[in-house]
Structure formats: C-alpha cells, structure tokens
Amino acid sequence: MASTIWVNKQALTQTQVHEAALHPLGEEAVRLRIESFSVTANNITYAVIGDQFGYWNFFPAEGDFGVVPMWGHAVVEESHCPDIAVGERVYGYLPMGTQLDVVPGKVSAGGFTDMAAHRQPMSPIYNQYSRLAADPEHEPAKEAERMLFGPLFKTGFLIEAMLRREGWFGSENLLITSASSKTAMGLASVAKDLSPSIKRIGLTSKGNVDFVLGTGLYDGVMAYDEVDALPETASVCVDFAGNSRLLRAIHERLVSHLKYSCLVGATHVDARGPNSAGASGGEMPGPKPVLFFAPDHAVATIQELGPKGFGEAVGRSWKSFLTAADGVVDIEIRAGLKAAETAFAETLQGRTDPQKGIIIQP
C-alpha cells in the first residue's frame, strides 16, 4: 500500500491520509520509497498558489484534493530502468507520502529527469532528481539542512542575483519581511556576501526579534508594528509574508523611496486577502508589487553565468550560508504521515517555532 496526505485545495486545513494499492511498475519506471522530507513555509506557498503555478499538478489526487510537494530523500525500491539500481538514493521533489513512481530520462552520473507525461508542462527545475552517490551538493551529515534550506536558499540566491543584475534599482536598503523564514535568511546571507554595501533590514513579529537578531544575517531588525519608523531611504522590499496590510503599510511609509516591491511566498496565509497587492482597498502608493517566480529567474541566471558557473556560484554561497546558519535551527525529526499532517497544519497556521526545522520520516 502507498499512503499520501491529501489536502483540500480550497480549505487547506482539511487533510486526510489516503491509502491506495501499489500498481505494477511501468516500463522504464522506477519506484522510490520516500525516506524523509522537510515541512516549511515553502510548502505552504506551493499550496496557496498551487492553482496559479501548477503545483497541484505534480502529484495528482482526485476531486477537490491535491498533494503538496515536498523536498526530500528517497531510495530506489524497484527499478525497470537499466541505468538506475535498486538501493540507490536520490534527492528531489516528492509527494507528502510514502512512495513515488518516476520515469527517468536524461540520466547522468549526477541525476535524472522524471519524464512522466503529466509533469512535462511544468518547470523542468522541479522534475530533476540528484543521485546522491555522485552529487557534489550532497553532504551526508547535512541532509536535514539540505531539505530544510536547500530549495529556499536557492530562491534567496536567485532573488539577490536579480536585484544585483538590476543595480538594486538604485537602493541602499533591502527590506525583508518574515525575516525569520528560511528563504529570507538565505537571501540575507547571499546579500551579505555578494552585495555588502546594501543594508539588510529584517522585519518580523515581535516574538521573533531576538531570534532574527541572533542569526547575525541582518544589519537591523524591526518588529512589524515599527514599520512607521522605517528609514525614508531608497529601498527595495522583498515580501515573504504575503500580508497585504503589512505590505501596504511599508508602501505608505516609503512611497517614492520604495524603488521595487517583490512578492515571494506566503507565510501569513490568513492575511493575504483576495489580492495581496491591494486587498486593503485601491492601489498602493509606490511601485506595483511584482511576483517572483524562481524557476523563470533560474533560467535567466543560468544563461547569465552558464550552467557550470551557476553551479559553482550557488555552491560557494551555500557553503557560506551553512556556516552562518550552523546551530541557528534545531532539527526535529518526526515519524509517520500523521506527524506530517500535524506539521503541515502547524506551519499553515503560523504555529511553528522558527528555531526548529521539521523533518518527517514517513
């Protein structure tokens, strides 16, 4: 039997464990047994904007339900592909469940692409799997950190690359909401290393101020209720919170001083409103917020640096971030899909401790 967490796409708090018999493995296919995955705010974003960007399409369910994608590790338990051996371990995009069948193509020593027909319309970034035996990013002692931070860190890396490519829109300050989130920390780390002249200001809830200060990744940290004290200096804002009232408050405080407004993710689901760019009524002053879609910017950055140069640049920044983030987050391992249901609900409702990183072993 294969077990999967199904989530109601219109009411994300409604979940169920769905069980189904395993079908005979298809020709050239490989069956992966999922060993572990992380649950982070990134997964909440996949669910919130799943219809808009096709995230529900990777691992189809039925009716009103969908399966939220996760990042994690799996082992090959059955293979009809001569290039992939039983017992081999991989890292990549997985369902919140126990098994996944893939059809490997473009196989190399370092990885393969799932060529399953239903996945081809989506970004190829999500269809690639790393073969751990020859994966330069794989560190056995840092598997949990890779699941927790890896995809989020790359999003932060790509945001910084885009802003630097645009000359930071002439800004001096980088404002980052939901500064305790893992993607925000990744962005702050990359900006600290590659754009040290830009002042990094983290915005967070009052209860998280000390934690964010303790990361050492920000030049300054402010609570959300201190937005009216933001310096009236040329700034770019990267909003990870998805809180329309907060974003409006930032726009109204800075107005023409705000040179670019970037929307990424949605950690404050209840505060998004029907349109996070203007849910409080009418257009906000300053620049119109622009939604950041990481796969598109990955293509642009890879074209700019070349595949080899891109990999090397990410690798350098990733190692720097691991050093900066060492000890910042405590790894909490939970067993079973019921634990995954609970972790998803906690993260959705904003009840997770930013100092804890949740790993599920289904």
Using CA of residue 248, residue 249, residue 250, residue 251, what is the dihedral sign?
positive
The residue behind tokens 């940290």 is 221
Using CA of residue 217, residue 153, residue 140, residue 353, what is the dihedral sign?
positive
Name which of 58-62, 107-111, 220-224 the model is least confident about: 107-111
Is the pLDDT reported for residue 286 higher than 60? yes
Residues 87-97: tens digit of each pLDDT:
999 999 999 99
> Can you give the pTM of this predicted structure?
0.78
Structure tokens at 172: 């001096």
239/241 Cα distance (integer angstroms): 6
Residues 151-163: tens digit of each pLDDT:
889 899 999 999 9
Helix (H, G, I), strand (E, B) or coil at 293: coil
Q: How confident is the model at residue 29 (pLDDT cuts 50, 70, 90)?
A: very high
The residue behind tokens 């039925």 is 62
Structure tokens at 85: 């051996």
Helix (H, G, I), strand (E, B) or coil at 165: helix
Structure tokens at 60: 């189809």
Structure tokens at 323: 């050093």
The beta strands (E) that lie in 218-297 are given as 220-223, 235-239, 258-263, 290-291
Q: How confident is the model at residue 302 (pLDDT cuts 50, 70, 90)?
A: confident
Name residue 33's beta-bridge partners. Answer: 75, 99
The DSSP result for 90-137, as a single string, is EEEEEESBSEEEE-EES--SSEEEE--GGGTTS-GGGGEEEEGGG-TT
Q: How confident is the model at residue 267 (pLDDT cuts 50, 70, 90)?
A: very low
303/301 Cα distance (integer angstroms): 5
Q: Which residues contact 176 (CB under 8 A, 6 or more apart)?
A: 184, 187, 188, 200, 201, 202, 203, 218, 237, 238, 240
- Domains annotated on the chain, with CATH: 2-138+329-361 (3.90.180.10), 147-295 (3.40.50.720)
Please name the helix (run of DSSP H) or strand (run of DSSP E) that holds residue 151, with its range, or none: helix 143-165
Is the pLDDT reported for residue 279 higher than 60? no
Q: Which residues contact 354 (CB under 8 A, 6 or more apart)?
A: 180, 181, 208, 211, 329
pLDDT value, residue 307: 79
